[in-house]
Amino acid sequence: MRDLEKVGVVGCGLMGAGIAEVSARAGAEVVVVESDAAAVEAGRARLRRSLARAEAKGKIDSADDAMARIRLVTSLDELADRELVIEAIVEDEAVKADLFQMLDKVVESPDAILASNTSSIPIMKLGVVTSRPQQVVGMHFFNPVPVLQLVEIAPSLLTSSETTRRAREFVEGLLGKQAIDCQDRAGFVVNALLVPFILSAIRMLESGFATAEDIDRGLVLGAAHPQGPLALADLIGLDTTAAVADSLYAEFKEPLFAAPPLLARMVDAGLLGRKSGRGFYTYE
């Protein structure tokens, strides 16, 4: 067995399920932890749907074979033998830090890597709550994970070069994706550029300068973007967009990084985009 083929994933939402899927499709043995039995069944259904689509499109030979390499559980103790554990839970620093403390106690191998899919919370803050900060690294995948090829690798000041090398080998060697190196700064590369752009589009809508449809159509037809910034925010999730904005503002104190009032009100109202059925657009 190659290095890092015993993979754990914490969380089976859109990102966690995607990470579990691409790992299983690449031949890894995957254990996914969710909060309760209902979340496990929802995650299982999400995985089955995505794998069935991949099989129908000829991207994999057998959805059943890939699914057989994924085990969904409700206990972190099931991650004891993992070589790599990737956290993909809510973008909340305190919640993530608590999880990393628990993972540090549960994962037995002294060589195991603990990774976070965050792009907005400093990896250093997650590493220092463990006894092995040299083995904590950021591995930021992009949604939808089975489709988008990029993964941002973000070591903290304490992450060892060997951990970074192994993380890159997992991404490029096993998963067949492409990795870029990032400093441990809020937003890494992509979201540090993308989220302020999305916030500008929200401010344009908020001011009445243009409609959501015209803003998005303008960027699609005038700048060759595959989708407009407001539709993209709905896909990312408005809560996630706001969380990244908050982290960017906290780190850099740049006013344009602050979440616009409209975005904050929509999050408060539960209008989170595609995941809730309504954001800047309404979804069936």
Q: What residues does 72 pair with on adjacent strands?
A: 32
On whether the CB atoms of residues 26 and 175 are closer than 8 A, the answer is yes
Pairing of β 150-155 and β 136-141? antiparallel
Pairing of β 70-73 and β 29-33? parallel
For the chain, the first-to-last Cα distance in angstroms comes to 44
Judged by DSSP in three states, 73 sits in strand
- Spell out where the chain has E strands: 6-10, 29-33, 70-73, 84-87, 113-116, 136-141, 150-155, 178-181
Instruction: Retrieve residue 78's tokens.
Output: 């099931």
Sign of CA dihedral 134, 132, 88, 195: negative
What does the alpha-carbon distance between residue 20 and residue 11 come to, in Å, rounded to a whole number? 9
Cis amide prior to 110 (ω within 30 degrees): no
Cα 206 to the center of its chain, rounded Å: 28
Catalytic residue numbers? 119, 140, 152, 191
Judged by DSSP in three states, 3 sits in coil
Instruction: Retrieve residue 258's tokens.
Output: 């602050």
What does the alpha-carbon distance between residue 121 and residue 38 come to, in Å, rounded to a whole number? 28
The string of DSSP codes covering 137-152 is EEEEE-SSTTT--EEE
